[in-house]
Structure 1
């Protein structure tokens, strides 16, 4: 299931020195896969993995040797990975900045698809006007708004059901330089034909199809993983793919209020299925990653561990917090106050 969003929108840059995570392509790029693999098994201790082992793991997902080595090199140049060399052996680990970002991002993915917040009936509106010759700035602003959970109701007017946080305001200020206005309030009903509801800024039918496709793809696997029938490279491939797909839902569906959505909205069933697959494959996948790494490293690799969804919610490691995402822990007050 391809997503229209880039990984920068899921784990955005934080200033000039932040790691630049890879752009989303149709399907999973080698860089996507490498980041997911390293985050899923080395994030807790920032364990180092020999480059040859990472190439071998990526090969199990169909990435060529040349493609894997190019992806590793690009991630190192972007500051996502840190390299080291001992003799002729090179190894890589997630950089401290990328680890902090990924840890916070993992926590947000689970919180954003688990927490249920009441809605006060108000909308936050962000209106901006940028000249045509500032197209790069306009694209960056739109990406940031999408990341914060906003969608375009009209060109230059984006909305969200949740308050814009102080950190979100600061992030927008970096992109607009005064060319933006933010306000919040309820929708005023008009007795006209064709009035557009704010929820129409999101393609609800398309989001629903993404959920349905996710359920169709992963539900048949549950009996096999519960019986221990998924092991080795298959377990790693499945766990990587399910994370790579599920982590896009909080951006597609930024905790839209359930009372505005069709009955039987599939956000929670998708969340429960993700937990069953991701947690159910944790141990067999980690065993396989350790076995592959052991072929290229000296001795056991106890720092290679798989975390669960509970670990993600608790925070996989003591890292600096990732950027705040609006609506992740909204409190309900009257929008008139």
Structure 2
């Protein structure tokens, strides 16, 4: 039985992306890609076997499970003598939302109205801890510092930043803040918003992704990747691509240097992700079944739609 997408996904804390996947981050990626029901009873031995494919030890796999339980992504229930794990309904909703975000990112230009959200704040010296926490929160929300205490992001949605400012600064005596929707007379000029972004480094990261995964892309397109390699390779590509969806500010084309390599990087990712989906699913079933006889009934995979008019990921 599939859970409703209406479940509040914001109650679940997903591990932050980081360089070099930790076991819990890797496990989050695998569960988000290949499980889509909270009714599936997942034995710990199956999780250990799955993570062993990625070179993760049993002790690290068990530690990852424990951490994800604490984060609310996984819960336990007893089945026979041994407890089993299952994704929570909140985790399913979070995974679906994140998969839509990752797989649809870069599929079409974001409609541009010329609006930016600007957050400005003043924090007394006694509130430096709150200032640092606010900067981390603003970065997570896609903001970048235009000046020291003036942060911006493209678009017009201001509710999340209003909530963050209120939560982090309301108790700081003397703190002041404001949120505005603004337009810039010179968007692309040396003092405009585009200058606040390190677009050169982002372009270099996209180019490195293209170069790194070019051999795998060619092998996947020619059918030269077997199921054993497909699971690890597809997961690696997804883990690398999803960081772009989190760090790319998705600026309008007229603010980007040309040529901009994101589209080629996206095509590289999609070729790998689409071609290896069924093979990776088959390998995951093969690895999990000795420990989880019902694995084939629950393991699936997501696949991005190639139809620009229907950018939703497809569940297989």
TM-score interval (norm. to shorter): 0.7 to 0.9
The match for 1:247 is 242
Post-superposition Cα deviations, 1:190-222, rounded to whole Å, max 9, x if no partner, equal xxxx95331121111110111011101112112
Post-superposition Cα deviations, 1:138-193, rounded to whole Å, max 9, x if no partner, equal 3443333223322111222111221124455445433343832122333346xxxx
Post-superposition Cα deviations, 1:275-324, rounded to whole Å, max 9, x if no partner, equal 1111111100000111111111235622211111139943678xxxxxxx
Deviates more, 1:60-69 or 1:123-132: 123-132
The match for 1:42 is 35
SS in 2 for 1:61: coil
Shift of 1:53: 1.3
Contact 2:154 / 2:249 at 8 angstroms: preserved in 1? Answer: no
CA distance in structure 2 between the aligned counterparts of 1:300 and 1:68, rounded to whole angstroms: 18
Contact 1:50 / 1:90 at 8 angstroms: preserved in 2? Answer: yes
SS in 2 for 1:196: coil
Deviates more, 1:33-42 or 1:269-278: 269-278
Give the alignment partner of residue 123 of structure 1, picking from 112, 116, 121.
116
The match for 1:146 is 139
* TM-score with structure 2 setting the length: 0.84
Give 1:13-32 correspondences, 5 Å limit.
14=10, 18-32=11-25
Alpha-carbon distance change, 285 to 262 in structure 1, aligned in 2, over 3 angstroms: same
Structure 2 unaligned runs (5+)? 1-8
The match for 2:5 is none
Contact 1:124 / 1:161 at 8 angstroms: preserved in 2? Answer: yes
CA distance in structure 1 between the aligned counterparts of 2:263 and 2:181, rounded to whole angstroms: 28
The match for 2:102 is 109
Count of residue pairs the alignment pairs up: 298
The answer to which structure, 1 or 2, has the higher relative contact order (CA under 8 A, 6+ apart) is: 1
Contact 2:48 / 2:62 at 8 angstroms: preserved in 1? Answer: yes
Contact 1:103 / 1:316 at 8 angstroms: preserved in 2? Answer: no
Structure 1 unaligned runs (5+)? 1-12, 318-337
SS in 2 for 1:92: strand
Alpha-carbon distance change, 168 to 127 in structure 1, aligned in 2, over 3 angstroms: closer
Contact 2:206 / 2:265 at 8 angstroms: preserved in 1? Answer: yes
Alpha-carbon distance change, 134 to 280 in structure 1, aligned in 2, over 3 angstroms: farther
Contact 1:146 / 1:251 at 8 angstroms: preserved in 2? Answer: no
The match for 2:258 is 263
Are 1:93 and 2:86 matched, yes or no?
yes
Post-superposition Cα deviations, 1:59-118, rounded to whole Å, max 9, x if no partner, equal 111111111111111111221111233334443222111221121122122333213134
Report the RMSD for the aligned CA atoms in angstroms: 2.6
The match for 2:197 is 202
CA distance in structure 2 between the aligned counterparts of 1:241 and 1:46, rounded to whole angstroms: 27
Are 1:67 and 2:60 matched, yes or no?
yes
Deviates more, 1:304-313 or 1:65-74: 304-313
The match for 2:154 is 161
Give the alignment partner of residue 183 of structure 1, picking from 167, 180, 183.
180
Deviates more, 1:291-300 or 1:42-51: 42-51
